Amino acid sequence: MTSPEQMYEIDAYADGELDAMRAIEVERLMAEKPELRQRYDSILNLRTALREAAAQDRASDLLQPRIERAVGRVGPSVTRWAALAASFLFGILIAGTLTWVLFVPRGPALGDMIVSAHMRGLLAEQPFDIASSDRHTVKPWLARKVPQSPDVVDLTQSGFPLFGGRVDVIDGNPVATLVYGHAQHLVSLMTFAKPVKLPTESTIAGFHIRSWLEGDLTYVAVSDIPERELAGFENDIRRPTR
Partner 1 sequence: MESDRALFAKVFLPHLQQAYRLARWITGNAVDAEDIVQEASLRAFRSIRDCSGANPRGWVLTIVRNTANTWLTRNRADRVPVERIDADGSVIYREEDSDPDTPETILLRKAAVEEVRRAVDALPPAFREVIVLREIEDLDYREIAQIAGIPLGTVMSRLSRARSMLFKALGDTQ
Which residues bind to partner 1, rule: CB under 8 A?
1-2, 4, 7-8, 11-12, 15-17, 35, 38-39, 42-43, 45-47, 49-54, 56-60, 63-64, 66-68, 70-72, 74-75, 78, 116, 119-120, 123-125, 145, 167, 169, 171-172, 174
Q: Among 219, 211, 199, 230, which residue's Cα sits nearest to residue 105? A: 199
Q: 39 with 12: CB under 8 angstroms?
A: no
Q: 54 with 46: CB under 8 angstroms?
A: no
Q: How far apart are CA 174 and CA 157, in angstroms?
A: 30
Nearer to partner 1, 127 or 155 (CB): 127
Nearer to partner 1, 149 or 233 (CB): 149
Hey, which bits of the chain come out as E strands? 130-131, 162-170, 173-182, 185-192, 201-204, 207-214, 217-223
Nearer to partner 1, 170 or 217 (CB): 170
What b/e readout covers 96-105, taking b as 16+ CB neighbours within 10 angstroms? eeeeeeeeee
Nearer to partner 1, 128 or 160 (CB): 128
Least spacing, CB of residue 96 vs partner 1, in Å: 29
Nearer to partner 1, 53 or 93 (CB): 53
Hey, which bits of 159-200 come out as E strands? 162-170, 173-182, 185-192
Least spacing, CB of residue 201 vs partner 1, in Å: 24
Q: 169 with 163: CB under 8 angstroms?
A: no
Least spacing, CB of residue 212 vs partner 1, in Å: 25
Least spacing, CB of residue 49 vs partner 1, in Å: 5
Least spacing, CB of residue 62 vs partner 1, in Å: 8
